[in-house]
Structure 1
Amino acid sequence: MTRRALLHTAARPRVALAVVALALTACAPSGGVPVSPAPTSSRAERDDVSTGLQAVEERYDVTVGVSLLNTGTGETISYRGAERFGFASTVKVFLAAEFLRRTPEDARDDLVRWTAADIERAGYSPVTTARLDTGLTAAESAEAAVRESDNTATNLVFDQIGGPAELDAALSRLGDDVTDIVDVEPGLNTVGPDSTGNTTTADAFTTSLAALRGAGSSTDSDAATLAEWMSGNATGDALVRAGAPSGWTVADKSGGAGAVRNDIAVVTPPGRPPLVLTVLTRKNDASAPYEDAAVSESAAVVLNTVR
C-alpha cells in the first residue's frame, strides 16, 4: 500500500508541490534567515492589518498573533508577533523536518510498532489505530503526524529523534531560542500558568519555517518530501487555505486544542515568490472552544494586504 493510499489523501497538482518545495529550499540563505528580516511593511499596511485583526479579535473574542515573511522581498508583517501562544500540533512540521534531517533513506523504511495503550495515552490517532496490527514505516509515521495530525504517530517520531529536547535543540540550531518544546502528545497541547513550556511566538515560527533550508537543515529532496506532506494536510482546509485568495497555493500544518487554534503555512501566489505565514489564536475565555474562522479571517486580512 502506498503512503498516499494509506492516508487517503487526494493527489495534489505537481506544479503546486514544486512551488512549495521551492519555498522551503529558497526561503533562506545557506546560513539561515535573520531573526528580524527587513524591510518591514509600510505604515499604511501595518495600520490596515492592525485594524483588520483587531476586528477579528473582537468578533471572535480571541487574541491573535500573526507573522508573515515575503521570501521575495524580505518584507515582514507582524501583529502580536512576539506574544506567546500554545503551539499545539503546528510543531509537528518541525518534528517531521528533524526526522528527515537525521534519518538516512534506508532507515526510513524501518518498521515501527506500538500498542493499544500507546493510542489510548496519546488520544487522536486515526492512522495508527487503523494500522495497529501491521505497523508503519518510520517515514509513514512522520507523514501521518503531519498529514493527519496523528498523536501516536507523533510520539513515535519523537522517540525516533530522541524526544522533545532534541527537537528543541534542532530549533535552536535554526536560531529559534523562543519556542519551548517540553512534552509529547497529548501534553504538548497544555500550557501551564506562568510557563513558557509548549509555547512559541508567531515571529519565531515564521522565521523557523523559512530557515529550514538553511544551516544544512534539509536537502532538496527532504524539503520536497516535507512540502508534499504539508500540501496534503487533511486538517487545514478551514484555516489559512480558506482565507487565501483564489488560485493561491497553501501548504500548511494546523494545530488546535481547547481554546487554541493555529496554522503555519507556505502560501504561494501565482507567479510570485512564496509567503511564510503563521497565525496563532486563543480564545480569551480559556474554557471556550476554538473557532476555525478566527484563523481563516486573520489570514485573509494579512494576505489581502499583500495580494
Structure 2
Amino acid sequence: MTRSTGGVVAIAIAVAGGLVLGLVGCASATPSTSASPSSPTAAPTSAPPTSTPDRSVEFQALEAEFGARVGVSALDTGTGARLSYRADERFGYASTIKALAAAVFLHEVRGSARDEVVTWSAEDVEAAGYSPVTSEQVETGLPLSQLAEAAVRRSDNTALNLVLARIGGPAALDAALGALGDEVTEVINAEPLLNVIEPGSTDDTTTPAAFTDDLTRLADGSYLKPADRATLLAWMSGNATGDTLIRAGAPAGWQVADKSGGAGGIRNDIAIVDRPDGAPIVLTILTNTLDPDAEYEDALVAKAASLALAAFVH
C-alpha cells in the first residue's frame, strides 16, 4: 500500500447506491470526475428493534469537504444493527485485499506447509512495487507464513504476490471469496495492477457491504479455526499502516484490528473494532477523490470512522 510513482490512470466507478440504516438479519489509481457524489436516498426499511442514527448529512459534508466519494458499511455483531452509506457502490479495494488473501492462506495452507521457505528475485520486487520486507530478504527468502504476515502488517506487495501464487492466484482468491458468499468482489490482478481501475470496469473492486460481510465471517469463527482467527487478528492489530485511519477515529479504549489500502486517490481501511461495552463492530470505509490529480488524505477515513463508530456508542 503506497502511492505509486508510475503513470496516472483513471478510475470511474458508477454511483448507484442508497442509504440503508437499521437491522440486517453485512500502482496508482486516480478517480475520474465522473464518479461525483450523488445524494443517496433512504431506502424503505421495516421498523427494527435496534437502529443506528442517520449519518447521511454528515457523510455528505465530508465528501464535500474532501472532494471525494465515501462508502461506509458498519455492523454491530451483537445486535445486527448496521450503518450504511454508499455501501453497495463499487470502489477499488487496493491493499485491503491483503487481509482477505491472508485469511484464505490460513484456511487452505496447513501445518508445516506454512514453513516452506519461498525465494524471489530482485526483479520480482521491482515489478511489484512497495515491498519493505521482501526487498531486504531477496538473498534468503522467507517462510510462507512470514510472507502472509508481511502482506498484512507491512502491506508488502511482493509478499502478497507470493501468497497469491501459493493459494492459486487471483482467480483462486476470487473463488474462495465466492465460497464465503461474496459474489460482489472481483479479484483479477496481483500487485501492482490491482490498483489500476479502468473506467467502467469492475475488476479489482468491491463494495463496502461486501467487505464488511467478508470480515464478519472471518471474525465469527465460521471460516477460520480459532488459532488462525487469532493469528489474523494479531497481524491486523499490528498493522503498521493504519494508525492514521480507523484507529485514529475510534473512541478511546476501543481496539482496532485493520488493514489499510491506498493508491493515488484511493484511500481505504477495513477493521474489526473491539469495544469495552459491547460486541465487536465490523467496519469498512472505502474512498476515492474526485479530482484525478488529487491524492488521498488519511483524515477523510479517520473522520468517516469517527462518525460511523459514534453511532454505536452506548
Equivalent residue for 1:106, pick from 100, 104, 112: 112
Name the structure with the higher helix share.
1
Distance 2:125 2:136 in 1: 11
Give the Cα separation in 1 of the matches to 2:49 and 2:189: 34
1:190 aligns to what?
A: 196
Contact 2:219 2:272 in 1 (8 A): no
- The Cα RMSD (Å) is 1.8
Work out whether residues 260 and 281 of structure 1, in 8 Å CA contact, stay in contact via their aligned partners in 2: yes
Contact 1:122–1:185 under 8 Å retained in 2? yes
Shift of 1:50: 0.8
Q: Is the 8 A contact 1:174 1:214 kept in 2?
A: no
Cα deviation for residue 41 of structure 1 reads 6.3
Cα distance change of structure 1 residues 79 and 224 upon mapping to structure 2, 3 Å threshold: same
Report deviation, 1:104. 1.1
User: Which residue identity is paired with 2:53?
Assistant: E
- Alignment CA distance shift 1:194-1:256 (3 Å): same
- For the residues of structure 1 that align with 2:90 and 2:222, how far apart are their CA atoms? 28
**Is this contact kept in 2: 1:56–1:298, CA < 8 A?**
yes
> Does the 8 Å CA contact 1:39/1:74 hold for their aligned counterparts?
no
1-structure distance, mates of 2:187, 2:25 = 22
CA distance in 1, matches of 2:257, 2:113: 26
The residue number in structure 2 matching 1:97 is: 103
Q: Pick from 185, 203, 224: which aligns with 1:218?
A: 224
Return closer, same or farther for 1:197/1:41 CA change in 2, 3 Å cut-off. Answer: farther
What residue in structure 2 maps to residue 10 of structure 1?
none
2:280 is aligned, of 274, 280, 303, to 274
Please tell me the residue identity of whatever aligns with 1:45.
P
| 2:275 aligned partner, one-letter code | P
| 1:273 counterpart SS class | strand
In structure 2, C-alpha distance between the alignment counterparts of 1:206 and 1:191, rounded to whole Å: 21
Say if 1:251 and 1:131 are closer, same or farther in 2 by CA, change over 3 A. same
CA–CA separation in structure 1 for the residues paired with 2:219 and 2:235: 16
Which stretches of structure 1, 4 residues or longer, exceed 6 Å deviation after superposition? Answer: none
Equivalent in 135, 148, 151 of residue 129 of structure 1: 135
Quote the offset at 1:217 in angstroms.
Answer: 2.1
Looking at structure 2, the residues matched to 230 and 224 of structure 1 have their Cα atoms a distance apart, in angstroms, of: 10
Out of 75, 83, 86, the residue aligned to residue 69 of structure 1 is: 75
Q: Cα offset for 1:261?
A: 0.1
Mapped partners of 1:214, 1:294: distance in 2: 29
Which digits, 9 at most, give the CA deviation of each residue in 1:13-56, with x for residues without a partner? xxxxxxxxxxxxxxxxxxxx9659x95964x712xx11111111
Q: CA deviation at 1:271?
A: 3.1
Aligned equivalent of 1:22: none
How does the TM-score come out when normalised to structure 2?
0.83
Does structure 1 residue 45 correspond to structure 2 residue 53?
yes
CA distance 1:41–1:56, change in 2 (3 Å): farther
Among 159, 163, 167, the residue aligned to 1:157 = 163
Find the partner of 1:54 among 57, 60, 78. 60
Distance change >3 Å, CA 237–CA 213, structure 1 → 2: closer
Tell me, yes or no, if the aligned pair for 1:168 and 1:180 is still in contact at 8 Å.
yes
1:1-307 superposed matches below 5 A: 39=48, 42=51, 45-46=53-54, 49-212=55-218, 217-307=223-313
Change (3 A) 1:241 1:166: same
> Identity percentage over the alignment?
54
Tell me, in whole angstroms, the C-alpha distance in 2 between the residues paired with 1:254 and 1:196.
20
Deviation at 1:286, TM superposition (A): 2.2
| One-letter amino acid of the structure 2 residue matched with residue 260 of structure 1 | I
1:41, 1:76 within 8 Å by CA — same for their partners in 2?
Answer: no
- The number of residues matched between the two structures is 271
- Counterpart contact for 2:221–2:229, Cα < 8 Å: no
In the aligned structure 2, how far is the partner of 1:39 from the partner of 1:183? 40
Instruction: Flag the 1:107–1:198 CA change in 2: closer, same or farther, 3 A.
Output: same
Q: Distance in 1 between matches of 2:257 and 2:49?
A: 24
Q: Deviations over 1:109-133 (max 9, x none)?
A: 1101000000000000000011111
